[in-house]
Structure 1
Amino acid sequence: MSEYQALADMGIQNPLEISKYTLRQEGIEDVLKIYYNRHTDSYLPNSRKYKFSRSLKAGFDGDSVPATSDAYEISPFLLKAVAELDQIVADKAAGHDEKQEILNEIDHLERVVSMKLAELKRRLSAL
Structure 2
Amino acid sequence: MNALPPVVPPTEVRMVEIVFPNHTNHLGTLFGGQAMAWMDKAAFLAAARYSRRTVVTAHSDQVDFKLPIRIGEMVETVGRVVEVGRSSMTVQVELIAEDLHSGERKLCTRGHFVMVALDADGRPTSVPPLPPQA
Q: Which has the higher contact order (CA 8 A, sep 6+)?
A: 2
Max Rg structure: 1
Fold conserved (TM > 0.5)? no
The structure in which a higher percent of residues are helix is 1
The structure in which a higher percent of residues are strand is 2
